[in-house]
Amino acid sequence: TVVYAALTAARAGMRAAILTRASLDTLPDDQREALAVVASEVEIVAQASSTTTTFTNRDVAGRRIQELHAWAGEIDLNGLPPHWRTARVIHLAPVAQEIDPRSIGRLSPQLMGCTPQGWMREWDRRRFGPIRSTPLRLPPDLIARIDSAVISSEESVAARDVIEEVGRRSLAAITRSQQGAVLIDRGRRTEVRAYVSRTVDTVGAGDVFAAGLFASRADGESVAASARYAAAAAALKVQAVGLRSVPNRDAVEGLIERQSG
């Protein structure tokens, strides 16, 4: 999530950085090469670990089945460079319970964005294996600080209370793949249409949508304009495989112009 999101922000013209925990030296060569591409555009701070969080994803009858094989451990927010704590945007992007929700109080961005699916995953902490989905439960003080939250329609049922509360007070989005997205903007629901595209690889599309939405809102764009940017960025992402498919601002704005009206 953070790689796709950070590249989206960087290619939209923002300075972007990542704080994570991993064992970078033991990554496979292809992943290290991919990270080298990212590092040319995004600053990366990786806290040391003996391993890297590793999933297997399988589609079974249209449903994604996940297994966890390794967990890098919790990210220590004390390791966040001080000037990052007041960034224009901080995107909380857990994938496997690696961010303690109680530690967020030390952050004070202009916009706090969140893709919370990693707080909804549980597993056997001794043997790893199958991931089970659990309802999203966050401390009320954290929910009150989230300015924008994005989640997929498949995960939205288990996150309903949090998404509705964020949407009642600020902005939440439920992505629906080729059906676009639903925005909840201070309690008002609107549909965001998907842009026409040829789908090759959907990995990272939701992360690109989220980052596009957060970045545009932080730049002062309206909710409607930010949603268009996010949807167009996601549509361009799915047209190719991997990180190079994350679009820049010119490509996104070009798609919006071509398919406007």
- For 85, the 3-state DSSP assignment is helix
Question: Are residues 161 and 139 in contact, defined by beta-carbon separation less than 8 angstroms?
Answer: no
What is the average pLDDT score of the chain?
A: 94
Q: How far is it, in rounded angstroms, from Cα 206 to Cα 241?
A: 14
Question: Are residues 151 and 184 in contact, defined by beta-carbon separation less than 8 angstroms?
Answer: no
β-strands 171-175, 111-114 pairing: unpaired
Phi-psi group of 72: left, alpha or beta (phi > 0 → left; psi -120 to 50 → alpha; rest → beta): alpha
Q: How far is it, in rounded angstroms, from Cα 63 to Cα 73?
A: 27
CA angle at 233 for the pair 229 and 237, rounded to the nearest 5°: 175
What pLDDT score does 242 carry? 86
pLDDT, tens only, 233-244: 999 999 999 888
Which among 202, 209, 219 has a CA at the least distance from the CA of 252?
209
- For 214, the 3-state DSSP assignment is helix
More confident residue, 181 or 59: 181
The amino acid occupying position 53 is: T
pLDDT, tens only, 80-102: 889 999 999 999 999 999 999 99
Q: How far is it, in rounded angstroms, from Cα 200 to Cα 62?
A: 17
Residue range 149-169: mean pLDDT, rounded:
96
pTM: 0.94
Residue range 153-165: mean pLDDT, rounded:
95
Residue 193 has pLDDT above 80, yes or no: yes
